[in-house]
Structures are given as C-alpha cells and as structure tokens.
Amino acid sequence: MKIIIINGSQKTGESNTGIILDELNILFKSGHEIVNYKLGTKQLSSEELKNIVSFDVIIFGFPLFNDSIPSNMLKMIIELESYFANGKPKNITVYAIINNGFYEGKQTHIAFEVIQNWCEHCGVKFGGGIGQGAGEMIGATKSIPIDSGPFRNLGRSLELLANKVELKETFEIKYLSPYFPRFLWELMSKYTFWHPLAYKNKLNKKDIVKKIV
C-alpha cells in the first residue's frame, strides 16, 4: 500500500505535528511504501500535486489555526481538488491528525468537518482521525515515552489508527486531551510557553492582555 503523510505545520524546525507523525510512522508494518512530506510554506509544483493523488492513503497532519486549517494546508487542498476532478474514480482514503494549543482536542471538530466536506467534494473516502489537545505539551514532554506519559491515550489511539490505515478502513474521530490537570496546563502553558514566546516576538505585558475586539 502507498501511504503519503503530509505535515502541514508551518514551523521550520521541530513541530508537535512532526512528533506525532514520527510516532505514527514507526507503527506501520513493513511492506508499505510510506512517503513523508513536510509542506511548510512552499508552493507545490503540479508534479508534486499529481504525485499526492497517486497514493492509496493520504494522512494530513497539521496544527489548528483559528479553529480551522492553516493557510498553507488550505491552499494545498484547494489546489489538489482539480487533480481529483481530472482523475478517474478514486480509491483513496484520507485521514487527519490535528493538534491544537488549548487543552481539549475537541477544539479541532470544525477543522475535521472541513476535511470531511473536502473529501466528499473530491470523491475520496474520509477515514477519520485524531484531534489532540495541549499540542505544545507534546514537544515539552517528548522525552517521556508516549505510551507511559500524559499522552498515553494518544499512543494507544495512534496504534489503532495505524491498524485501520493499513486496511484502509474507517477510524472514528477521536478527540483527546492529555492525562494532566487542566488548570496546571493553563498556568504552565501561559507562563512557560505563550508569554515567553510573545516577549521573544517583541510584545510587552500590555500587548498580552489587550483585547482585540
């Protein structure tokens, strides 16, 4: 079976999406042709787009941006549509693994609906996937084996997903939150991640508390 795994994170270095997809990769049995593709912000050539629709299975991995799909992913799936439309009946199954910054993986449900509608529009099968919350904790805890740390339910779900992918069968959409107290994650993410990131990007205390609307 030919499987393409597309990482839609816009980060140039390590991404939470990439860490999850690495875990998924090692779960596939040998004998499949597996191609990993880092989308980044680059423009895909028509050859690359044509190549994507030649796979039996497409797995989209990406972070949630503003409750939906990051612009680079959106652009790619819009461009891909014409390649599906020009082709013969497609026997392709599409899965998605979406991670988001807030605690609850359920936040990804709108992005899942977008992917699901897109699959219907393109005439390909939607195979479900995983919506994982507290995405930035994945990078912060990556030294802990996935099957024993706060993401052990993610580890188990990836195993089940890999089995379904190998059979091209439908997987339910699993929305996951970590085994970690929500209030602690809120405090930790604010003070150890988001605020330092804001200061690094030249924002000050006032900017951080400013209401946009």
Q: Is 93 in the site for ligand FMN (CB under 6 A)?
A: no
Could you say whether residue 63 binds ligand FMN (CB under 6 A)?
yes
Tokens of 7: 């990482």
**What length is written for the chain?**
213
Output the smallest distance, CB 136 to ligand FMN, in A. Answer: 5
**Contacting residue, 3, 5, 6, 16, with ligand FMN by CB under 6 A:** 16
**Does residue number 101 form part of the binding site for ligand FMN (CB under 6 A)?**
yes
9 lines the binding site for ligand FMN (CB under 6 A): yes
Instruction: For ligand FMN, give the closer residue by CB, 93 or 100.
Output: 100
To the nearest whole angstrom, how small is the minimum distance from the Cβ of residue 63 to ligand FMN? 3
Of the candidate residues 93, 107, 153, 157, the single one contacting ligand FMN (CB under 6 A): 107
Please state the three-class secondary structure of the chain as a single string. Answer: CEEEEEECCCCCCCCHHHHHHHHHHCCCCCCCEEEEEECCCCCCCHHHHHHHCCCCEEEEEEECECCECCHHHHHHHHHHHHHHHCCCCCCCEEEEEEECCCCCHHHHHHHHHHHHHHHHHHCCEEEEEEEECCHHHHHHCCCCCCCCCCCHHHHHHHHHHHHHHHHCCCCCEEEECCCCCHHHHHHHHHHHHHHHHHHHCCCCHHHHHCCCC
Tell me the residue nearest to ligand FMN as measured from the CB. 135
Pick the stretch among 11-19, 76-84, 160-168, 178-186 that binds ligand FMN (CB under 6 A).
11-19
At position 152, the amino acid (one-letter code) is: R
List the x/- string, 132-151, binding to ligand FMN by CB under 6 A: ---xx---------------
Residue 50 CB, nearest approach to ligand FMN (Å): 26
Query: What CA dihedral angle connects 146, 180, 18 and 198, to 10 degrees?
Result: -150
Count interface residues toward ligand FMN (CB under 6 A): 17
Q: Which is nearer to ligand FMN, 144 or 167 (CB)?
A: 144
For residue 102, state whether it binds ligand FMN (rule: CB under 6 A): yes
Backbone angles phi, psi at 129, to 5 degrees: 160, -155
Shortest Cβ 110–ligand FMN spacing (Å)? 9
- Binding positions for ligand FMN, rule: CB under 6 A: 9, 11, 15-17, 63-67, 99-102, 107, 135-136
